[in-house]
């Protein structure tokens, strides 16, 4: 209607695209073995939209009229499917609840402003009406930032930024682009690429997330070692607050007091609506390769990543999977292509020569970008470190495959749900000195949770996003809930998810490295930034939004709402 | 008395150390030519302490008793010299006012807590008594952050962190150190160096500034291209707020909402007292060189710096002076040593070969650190870029000299004051695309201000601190005020200083790249971060400190105080 593409109302990504295991012959046996789920069983597809009872919109006529005046008749939408799409993000709990038609509160209206002036009109209208505003980008959030509070009595307005999707300007002399917040990753890169530029930001959600969403949740992409987190990339921005617009001009660095830029970064809609940003952009690199390596153990792989981080090497991607994730990766290879042949052969040789335990092997991807000389030099530096830690190179073949497939992973959650499996992710960051403990503690915590709920579960992990002082650990867990009842599934899910997050807190790691706080992680906020730090956060949010009109319920634990 | 070393009460640095022009035969003629000041004239030395009438302390007996209970008898000081040292920073206006005995308001007491518990006791005591707290590190601030508001009627307590000066812990596995906020640069580096580590942070103020002061003002050091600004270096911290302690554990990155770390960074005492921080530390590099280059013009030097920033080269220092600063630098060389001989010879050859206009030549320093291969490669990459822009290398001799002398510059302000000259600095940052305009606009603005006040003035500049999208420009200006009356001197000074700062605003640059806001730059806050951004800042500061007990008057313009 207004050209804004949405994800499936019931799951990740575009209609008609799904994860498929049939061309991956080792996956079904692997899943059966590890979590006892039969991928060949008939399964339960998601329900039809007609099976879902979407609560009626509570939008009053007066507010509707003002909103129509603000954004135009065609851009104030109260249809069920549109409101449904704007009710949830794409975390496991979101997927289970939407499939079950569990809809305690649905936005009463979705508005699609065309520009910042219209955003201002909407924000001011919502605050004047004491309604609630939830900004919406690509809808890929997986920490509960998008879901209206179940008990919210006020009118809920979802503000979809999808029409604000243009690269407005490239400052070629400075390597900066001014980009509207509602643009999806591929659309932005297409527009930048046409001018010879790239932002280099590639989160797993890339295809279905927006610049504004990245900023609002402190996103990070797989190439963050080179391009930085979104907090580094975002040099200036505009954000609509009630009655005003914050304008932060692009600056490479500044000492103008507490950073308002860093207050709006990560604000998840609680301070207002980000409408555009000035971001660092780079010339598309001359050369770009991703090389796969194999390490004899997790400890060896981790030690190598740490040594790379403190070396003179400057890779664009650093990533190593633990043994479980390596086994999973190998099981998803297609019949005769890609990593499989090479890995088998290489592993065979390694086994012969060094007596590796293949079950402990850990797959790693390291990315290289830049001039020929830089790429060569970095490969040599990394190669030496890999060798020192007993690793071997598998060449560029598996890396290229990983690079092509890297945005497909989020589809697996829906695929598993179809066949009765629950799967989700939790990620964190900590200093290098803590990462081995974070890993083992979290694996233990998940295992204890699996035992508690009586399931055969699986947890795997990779390190990615290296920094001088630490890195991100990204966990994926899966289990068969043994029930088709949504509430019962979710009870078990939260037992595992919460055990994983609690383990982060117990091991000096953070709530989240790049998924944000939302509602799912809010209960640990004070464990992460201290009770006094939470007080500071409350002072800020309450000072800007005393009426709790802006995405209330996210970031802060319920006890700290005013 | 308590082992805390202070700077001179009347000027920069240690008693007995001063700038001396006698071993720099070209300086006196240069200064006479450019600003008409005769360095050989008798001049006016700073006054004796006994000539200064320090207002009596207003500290009441009750508060004094509680403070003594908090930090111990010997650490509650009401002596004149100590209170005088804590009245001003070291900006030009501070120096003029303290020499003139212009002391509208002096801290009533200086307290020296030994640890965080004592800081807590002091903070809570001050707030309970509705007094005012001004945290004090090395006292090197030059934007007016340390001076009590003239009209402040409440008791003023200066909290000196000088006893909290230890490196508490080094996490060798993570490259992190836990350091007390009151440590001076050299003391910290001595403690780190003894264990083989360095923080790599080298602001001009290094010898007389503290970790806590760097964090509170968003400091940046000359090696920031490699080590980052203090905002990057600071990974965790502890800060005492009224009734509580914010504890932010060290994290390489996090997405836990608006960044409380980035709220305390730059807070200049308005949110509380930073007591310690976790900072990135690095192994002392194997190799370290600074090479000097000479460019035929400012435009050529700037273009080279920009190209280096977007190249594959990773230098630790990038710096280029404009023609005026180059002339000044050449005039400060000693008789037959250092840059002079080489430069003369090289320039002579260049003149012959290329017909350079020596008056336009621009001196540059580029720093290299790391393994032999990295240093060699970076030198080759930079060398090519320098050549492309018509520059020539002067080798390591001048660079080594610059490296030795880099912390001496702040002494010049006092030296010039003695002989009747007013000099100060203003620095900013902007995107690469704006820097030429910032430079020319600021030079023009200063010249117009010199004309307005009827003096022969001089302004010079260097670029330093390169980032992907821009860099810092650092201006130094000087003129003979033509009067010995402090108020008249300051009126002229503010005319020039304000013109320079206004030019930053007019050219899309920021208030300050690394000196902070203080009181001197506060009037431009809304021009920098917008009126709405200032509203956000007020919400934060007011929410945390409703009673305005914490360094009131800094950062915000007076009209925005509550």
Q: Rounded mean pLDDT of B421-431?
A: 97
Q: What's the pLDDT tens digit per position in A286-301? A: 999 999 999 999 999 9
Distance from C-alpha of A190 to C-alpha of A193, rounded to nearest angstrom = 5
Instruction: Select from B244, B254, B535 the Cβ nearest to the Cβ of A532.
Output: B244
DSSP characters for B136-170? ESSS---SSSSSPPTT--S-EEEEE-TT---EEEE
Average pLDDT of span A234-257: 98
| pLDDT, tens digit, 9 for 90 and up, residues A28-65 | 999 999 999 999 988 888 999 999 999 999 999 999 99
pLDDT-derived band at A336 (thresholds 50, 70, 90) equals low
Q: Map residue A207 onto helix, strand or coil.
A: helix
Distance between A198 CA and the closest CA of chain B, angstroms: 13
For residue B295, what are the β-bridge partners?
A: B362
Higher pLDDT, B102 or A358: B102
Specify the pTM.
Answer: 0.97
Contact A441, A506 (CB under 8 A): yes
Tokens 């939008």 belong to which residue? Answer: A59
Residue A261 and residue A245: Cα distance in Å, rounded?
A: 13
Residue A182 pLDDT > 80, yes or no?
yes
Integer Cα distance of B145 and B553 in angstroms: 8
Q: How would residue A346 be classed by pLDDT, with cut points 50, 70 and 90?
A: low
User: Which among B174, B312, B467 has CB closest to A370?
Assistant: B312
Q: Closest Cα of chain A to B88: distance in Å?
A: 20
- B residues 517..536 contacting A (CB < 8 A): 517, 521, 525, 528-533, 535-536
Closest to A522 (Cα-Cα) out of B159, B44, B256, B15: B256
Residue scoring higher pLDDT (B355 or A434): A434
A471: closest chain B residue by CA: B252
Asked whether the predicted pLDDT for residue B402 surpasses 90, the reply is: no
Lowest mean pLDDT among A196-205, B317-326, B392-401, B499-508: B392-401
Alpha-carbon distance of A317 to B439, in angstroms, equals 38
Q: Give the pLDDT confidence score for residue B43 in this predicted structure.
A: 84
Question: What is the distance between the alpha carbons of residues B332 and A377, in angstroms, rounded to a whole number?
Answer: 41
Lowest mean pLDDT among A14-23, A177-186, B144-153, B338-347: B338-347
Of B255, B312, B469, the CB nearest to A515: B255
Task: Please indicate whether, in this complex, the C-beta atoms of A174 and B254 are within 8 angstroms of each other.
Answer: no
Question: Could you give the CA distance from residue A144 to residue A146 in angstroms, rounded to a whole number?
Answer: 6
Place of tokens 């917040």: A181
Q: What is the mean pLDDT of residues B283-296?
A: 94
Say if residue A527's pLDDT is above 80: yes
| DSSP H stretches of helix in A454-514 | 486-506
Interface test with B, best of A219, A232, A252, A299 (most B CBs within 10 A): A252
Q: Can you tell me which residue has the tokens 């007066």?
A: A62
- C-alpha to C-alpha distance for B110 and B162, rounded to whole angstroms: 11
Contact state of B256 with A430 under an 8 Å Cβ cutoff = no
Please indicate if any CB of chain B lies within 8 Å of the CB of A244: yes
- Residues of A comprising the binding site for substrate? 413
Question: Average pLDDT of chain A?
Answer: 95
Q: What is the pLDDT of residue A3?
A: 86
The C-alpha atoms of residue B93 and residue B111 are separated, in whole angstroms, by 25
> What is the model's pLDDT at position B408?
84
- Residue B407, token pair as written in the block: 């912390």
Mean pLDDT of B325-344: 75
Mean pLDDT, rounded, for A180-192: 98
The candidate with the shortest Cα–Cα distance to A251, out of B520, B249, B472, is B472
Q: How confident is the model at residue A409 (pLDDT cuts 50, 70, 90)?
A: confident
* pLDDT at B337 > cutoff 60: no
Token pair for residue B513? 């790249």
How far is the C-alpha of B359 from the C-alpha of A56, rounded, in Å? 77
Rounding to the nearest 10 degrees, give the CA dihedral for residues B292, B295, B299, B304. Answer: -50
- Alpha-carbon gap: B114 to the closest alpha carbon of chain A (Å): 22
pLDDT tens digits along B62-73: 999 999 999 999
B260 — contact with chain A (CB < 8 Å)?
Answer: yes
Q: What is the pLDDT of residues B184-230, one digit of tens each?
A: 999 999 999 999 999 999 999 999 999 999 999 999 999 999 999 99
ipTM confidence score: 0.97
pLDDT at A337 over 80: no
pLDDT digits (tens, 9 = 90+) for A385-398: 999 999 999 998 88
pLDDT band at A355 (very low <50, low <70, confident <90, very high): confident
Is B257 in contact with A267 (Cβ distance < 8 A)? yes
pLDDT digits (tens, 9 = 90+) for B527-558: 999 999 999 999 999 999 999 999 999 999 99
Q: How far is A411 from chain B (nearest CA, A)?
A: 24
pLDDT for the residue B514: 98
What residues of A are labeled active site?
474
B370–chain A Cβ distance below 8 A for any pair? yes
Which residues are CB-neighbours of B403 under 8 A, at least 6 positions away?
B290
Cβ atoms of residues A229 and A514 within 8 Å: yes
A392-395 and A317-321 strand pairing: unpaired
Q: Enumerate the known binding-site residues of A for FAD.
A: 204-210, 217-220, 268-274
Could you report how far apart the first and last alpha carbons of chain B are, in Å? 39
Cα(A173)–Cα(B434) distance, integer angstroms: 9
Q: Per the structure block, which two tokens stand in for B421?
A: 């000259």
Residue A134 has pLDDT above 90, yes or no: yes
A159 vs A156: CA distance, rounded Å = 10
Residue B231 to residue B212: CA distance in whole angstroms: 12
pLDDT tens for B468-526 read 999 999 999 999 999 999 999 999 999 999 999 999 999 999 999 999 999 999 999 99
- Classify the C-alpha dihedral A490-A492-A495-A498 as positive or negative: negative
């Amino acid at each position: 209607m207004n050209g804004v593409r949405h994800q499936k109302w019931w799951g990740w990504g575009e209609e008609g695209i799904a994860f498929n295991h049939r061309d991956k012959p080792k996956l079904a046996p692997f899943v059966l073995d590890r979590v006892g789920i039969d991928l060949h069983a008939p399964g339960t597809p998601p329900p039809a939209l007609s099976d879902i009872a979407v609560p009626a919109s509570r939008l009053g006529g007066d507010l509707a009229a003002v909103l129509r005046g603000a954004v135009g008749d065609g851009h104030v939408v109260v249809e069920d499917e549109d409101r449904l799409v704007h009710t949830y993000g794409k975390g496991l709990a979101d997927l289970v609840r939407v499939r079950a038609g569990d809809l305690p509160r649905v936005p009463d209206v979705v508005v699609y402003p065309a520009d910042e002036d219209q955003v201002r009109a909407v924000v001011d209208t919502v605050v004047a009406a004491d309604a609630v505003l939830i900004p919406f980008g690509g809808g890929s959030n997986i920490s509960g930032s998008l879901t209206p509070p179940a008990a919210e009595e006020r009118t809920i307005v979802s503000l979809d930024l999808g029409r604000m999707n243009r690269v407005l300007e490239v400052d070629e002399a400075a390597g900066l682009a001014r980009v509207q917040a509602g643009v999806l990753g591929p659309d932005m890169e297409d527009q930048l690429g046409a001018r010879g530029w790239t932002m280099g930001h590639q989160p797993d959600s890339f295809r279905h997330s927006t610049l504004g969403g990245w900023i609002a949740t402190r996103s990070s992409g797989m190439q963050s070692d080179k391009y930085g987190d979104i907090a580094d990339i975002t040099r200036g921005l505009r954000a609509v607050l009630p009655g005003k617009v914050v304008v932060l001009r692009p600056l490479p660095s500044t000492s103008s007091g507490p950073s308002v830029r860093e207050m709006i970064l990560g604000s998840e809609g609680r301070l207002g609506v980000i409408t555009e940003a000035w971001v660092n952009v780079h010339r598309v690199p001359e050369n770009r390769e991703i090389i796969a390596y194999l390490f004899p153990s997790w400890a060896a792989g981790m030690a190598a990543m740490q040594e790379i981080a403190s070396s003179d090497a400057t890779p664009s991607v650093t990533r190593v999977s633990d043994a479980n994730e390596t086994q999973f990766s190998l099981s998803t290879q297609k019949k005769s292509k890609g990593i499989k042949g090479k890995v088998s052969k290489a592993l065979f040789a390694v086994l012969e020569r060094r007596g590796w335990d293949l079950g402990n092997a850990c797959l790693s991807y390291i990315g290289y970008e830049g001039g020929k000389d830089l790429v060569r030099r970095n490969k040599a530096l990394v190669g030496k470190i890999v060798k020192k830690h007993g690793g071997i190179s598998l060449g560029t073949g598996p890396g290229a495959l990983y690079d092509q497939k890297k945005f497909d992973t989020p589809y697996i959650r829906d695929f598993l749900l179809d066949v009765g499996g629950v799967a989700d992710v939790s990620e964190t960051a900590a200093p290098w000195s803590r990462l081995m403990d974070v890993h083992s503690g979290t694996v233990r915590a998940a295992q204890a949770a699996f035992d508690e709920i009586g399931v055969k579960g699986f947890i795997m992990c990779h390190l990615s996003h290296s920094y001088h002082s630490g890195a991100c650990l990204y966990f994926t867990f899966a289990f068969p809930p043994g029930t088709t009842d949504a509430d019962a599934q979710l009870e078990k899910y939260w037992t595992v998810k919460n055990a994983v997050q609690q383990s982060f807190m117990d091991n000096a790691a953070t709530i989240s490295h790049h998924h944000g706080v939302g509602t799912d992680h809010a209960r640990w906020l004070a464990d992460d930034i201290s009770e006094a730090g939470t007080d500071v956060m409350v002072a800020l949010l309450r000072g800007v939004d005393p009426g709790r009109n802006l995405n209330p319920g996210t970031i802060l634990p319920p006890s700290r709402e005013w």
